[in-house]
Chains A and B, each alone.
Chain A
């Protein structure tokens, strides 16, 4: 019997793979980064995950894909949108969460989940990349600061500046203008992160503020972004250990549902029941550290 299921999140900037065993235990995850909606990124991500799990494609019983490139993955048996998968993955990481803020490379989304863990409402950014990881990437270049250093540097700002939250291109022009005025990089970067927060609370307003709030996506690893969003929302954010794999985890959980026949409600056959203890091992909530997560894996870029 094929012993594993796989979830693949083929995002705009990175590809993420999560492999679960039939008891729901996460045996491997990986992030591939090879450029925008990159096939090579997916292959790299899958290959790394297979290697870490010590298995091959032949051991995978079912694969579910999500993300921008979800329909481009040949090995996927099914695909769901990133809204559905991120919500599933995030709620699995922190079951008490009622609002999911996911900021990825190209889009940001806010998802309200009900007491059943189902998506009740969602809002996404429009076609402009303002408020997304791409926004940070663009402005990191403008300020000439490595993207990994943006967040820590922004947190040292002593003065609150403002830039546009409406348009990434306008924001870049404003950043260059602030630098030309002699403003320091930490303050400018503080304004960049505050801009992301402003954009995010606009999305939160559209679905309705509620808590607890979990933040996922690569930008959740950026401490300044988290700080400004939490400040703007006046609420503490729950950050899972590996926020960027929430979508792939959600996809893998749907694959597991389909393999075990538990689309909505557990079956009574004990053999098919998911081991709750094992399932908790795929939870990566900061308040409940993932016991099985491969800590030695390097944290890649913020998205």
Chain B
């Protein structure tokens, strides 16, 4: 059985994370400055369509990234409160609630389209400078709230800000020839996405009044592909025991493949990350001081709790080696990207993001990851306000239990609303799962 923890143990987080902070800070600084240097600003949610904007020299504000940043810096509550005061229920996606709350606060300050968020969030220096949108692009897979979120913002800004919608079809995977990344249904979806991406480019051209710079997009996607490949290689190196980095490290490393500009800096970042992983493997250095359990995280991240959760699992001697959120999205299918003809690879990566696969396809990918990383148990984080991520979790739990004989623990939390999180309830479930793993190990029952 697991032993009572006498002293708290800390996670051994990647040192390269500090470089990531610089990339993120530089990115937001550019966003803040955008209106001053005559750049248009696009608000968008969902998949990483930012290369489309970057090639047109349009600044971009990703709703989830912005909400996550506020949460990570404990600045989310005023925006969430403003949203609730406007009538948006607490059960609504907390990303959306936070982002819409920012819009509400801006409106309350009498600052409509084209203005800035100056003073909208009081003395919060970061939030003060985020510019309001000149355009919206909605490209949300699977999640209905995500699509309505853009519509709400559009109405909040009095329908004066132009909006373009990319409809991302769900990958059912139930046709006779369906396979992951293949089959007639998938090919049709890819072509449909490519047509919409071309239309989106025309929309961006109309907003900027300039011809689209396709060469620039090719260059951006060249770097994006490289970064995606390096990230996947670094993560795969964590099949080593002890795992040199954790799901929590990969979560904090999402920004460079999600919204930071595609360029040499993101490639450099993941080269350094990979190097650090290699050094750790050479030194036998693990992400937790004493790896005893290897776990898989299903579900979205709790941005208020990254460090806390990393340390919590370290205290249990549990390495959270991989996860659906980090390992099944964010340019993970980098091999599909042809930098000279990037729309196809972009369409494919948008389609196979972690929430847009039907359960059978998704489960197969999760099972592959659990086998590859030699997982002992699965933690399913049921985000209270993200049904898109939570919907298939019972099926995932049942599948890994039945097919891999792995214990699972379902915990409740949220992306950026800390009030949905109850430590003792979470601890009991995790500890019970670890106790079950321990009992099996001692009884010689392999997973």
Contact = CB atoms under 8 A, between A and B. Distances in A.
Interface of A: 68, 78-84, 114, 116, 118-124, 126-127, 206, 208, 254, 263-264
B431 A120 contact: no
B393 to A, nearest CB: 10
Interface in B1-55: 1-4
A114 B445 CA distance: 11
Given A79-B4, A118-B436, A121-B401, A264 B442 contact: yes
* For the complex of A and B, 10 pairs with smallest distance between CB atoms: A83-B432, A81-B432, A119-B436, A84-B435, A264-B442, A118-B439, A81-B431, A81-B428, A121-B401, A264-B443
B308 interface: no
Most buried by A among B4, B405, B412, B442: B4
Interface residues of B, number: 27
A119 B4 CA distance: 19
A206 B436 contact: no
Contact of B407 (A120, A208, A254): A120
B432 A122 contact: yes
8 contacts: A78-B4, A81-B435, A118-B440, A121-B408, A123-B410, A127-B422, A127-B425, A263-B1
Given A83-B428, A121-B407, A122-B436, 5 more contacts: A81-B431, A119-B436, A120-B405, A206-B398, A264-B443
Interface of B: 1-4, 394, 397-398, 401, 405, 407-408, 410, 412, 422, 424-425, 428-429, 431-432, 435-436, 439-440, 442-443, 445
A107 to B, nearest CB: 8
A127 B384 CA distance: 11
Contact of A127 (B412, B435, B443): B412
Given A119-B432, A119-B435, A127-B425, A208 B440 contact: no
Contacts of B398: 206, 208
A84 B443 contact: no
Given A68-B424, A118-B436, A208-B398, A124 B443 contact: no
A119 B445 CA distance: 12
Most chain B CB within 10 A, of A84, A123, A124, A263, is at A84
Contacts of A82: 428, 432
A84 B436 contact: yes
A126 B428 CA distance: 12
Contacts of B3: 78
Contact of B397 (A68, A116, A119, A206): A206
B1 A80 contact: yes
Contact of B442 (A79, A83, A263): A263
Contacts of B422: 127
B439 A119 contact: yes
A254 B1 contact: yes
Name the residue among B397, B398, B422, B428 with the largest chain A CB count within 10 angstroms: B428
Nearest to A264: B442
Nearest to B401: A121
Contacts of B4: 78-79
B229 to A, nearest CB: 37
Contacts of A126: 412
Nearest to B412: A126
Contacts of B440: 118
Nearest to B434: A81
A206 B410 CA distance: 11
A118 B412 contact: no
B208 to A, nearest CB: 48
A118 B440 CA distance: 7
A216 to B, nearest CB: 16
Contacts of B2: 80
Contacts of A263: 1, 442
A1 to B, nearest CB: 24
Nearest to A121: B401
A10 to B, nearest CB: 12
B439 to A, nearest CB: 5
Contacts of B432: 81-84, 119, 122
Nearest to B421: A127
A12 to B, nearest CB: 10
B15 to A, nearest CB: 33
Nearest to A123: B410
Nearest to B429: A124
Contacts of A114: 445
A116 B424 contact: no
Contacts of A84: 1, 432, 435-436, 439
A217 to B, nearest CB: 15
Nearest to A82: B428
Contact of A206 (B394, B407, B425): B394
Nearest to A206: B394
Nearest to A119: B436
A83 B435 contact: yes
A159 to B, nearest CB: 33
Contacts of A68: 424, 428
Contacts of A116: 443, 445
Contacts of A208: 398, 401
A116 B442 CA distance: 12
Contacts of A121: 401, 407-408
A81 to B, nearest CB: 4
Contacts of A123: 410
Contacts of B394: 206
- Candidate in A81, A114, A124 with the most chain B CB atoms within 10 angstroms: A81
Contacts of B431: 80-81
Contacts of B429: 124
Nearest to A112: B401
B404 to A, nearest CB: 12
Contacts of A264: 439, 442-443
A283 to B, nearest CB: 20
A234 B405 CA distance: 27
A284 B223 CA distance: 67
B370 to A, nearest CB: 16
A78 B3 CA distance: 7
A82 B398 CA distance: 22
Nearest to A254: B1
Contacts of B1: 78, 80, 84, 254, 263
A124 B401 CA distance: 16
Nearest to B440: A118
Contacts of B435: 80-81, 83-84, 119
